[in-house]
Structure 1
């Protein structure tokens, strides 16, 4: 029997298209897009707190230590005496009272005038003083810087007549060499020869007066 073109019989060899499985909703696999790791936001640095500028406390001007007008020391003690030249020290070594000054105490040219009498109603007071120079320059010393202070607290200058005639008296411009010493005599006349003290004033008023208490 002849086969018509385009007509064929069905055979067991015909391929049946496979069933397409319908995915069950429970078995559905969600293919998600990977979520990128969250980028950690940078921690903000704390804003620095401005340090307050300390208010300057006005410094108080130190009060200078007052310089005493008079320094008192005992007889025989060394004391620094103000000097514009160098570092100078002095002391009163001893003193004696006398009603007259014998010839042996006088300069040769005045011995014929011995004994030397004090002014009426007064007594001689002979005072031995000593200087020492602790500085690097010579110092000039003078009898004019010295006074005797009596019990009334009244001061007397050296007696000019006695100072001119007595041996070894301090002159108006004696010099004390560098790291050297000088011992001289002062002669006073006073009507009150008890409770005496001896005072040396500073040169040019620079510094305190030094007073030796007998």
Structure 2
């Protein structure tokens, strides 16, 4: 637990899977924190001062020391508060956890953005194909209940945008990418993960996310 001498603040925004990553990490560790809500397009001076390079959330501030970028923050949390580790101690397994988390942010995210927010039909089809390839790699990687074994770990937290955000987004767009039939192990993992008590209490409500993405997608369609 964070001691009384520690000050932990999280600068975040509603509906961000990257902020949710950090919240899950803190809650799994039992670390108390103060949430500083930022508004899109109207960032606070404090946030910009703490993260002048990227000027975006999430930013974790621990005893006035800011840490930016969700995966880096997760690693910082794990190294600072030793209870309930989320990264393996074995160097090779730790390296693999970093690899797959980076894969999610690089390969999966770029593919799904192309599949949804691309005007050119050929490019959109390529994005759908690349998304399915990325999901298949992750399907093949799951060996236990979670990527981290029997307990939630670094890759599971990194993949929250697949477990929770992807089903909502594909419903809005009308895609059929992530299903139990196509990816049975990954789909079961997503159910186990999102129903974990700590994860479940941290996720934004579906009733909030769905209209947000509907409005965003309608704006995109109107601009075509």
Q: Same fold (TM over 0.5)?
A: no
The structure having more radius of gyration, on CA atoms, is 1
More strand as a share of residues = 1
More helix as a share of residues = 2
State the TM-score, normalized to the length of structure 1.
0.20
State the TM-score, normalized to the length of structure 2.
0.19
Higher relative contact order (CA 8 A, sep 6+): 1
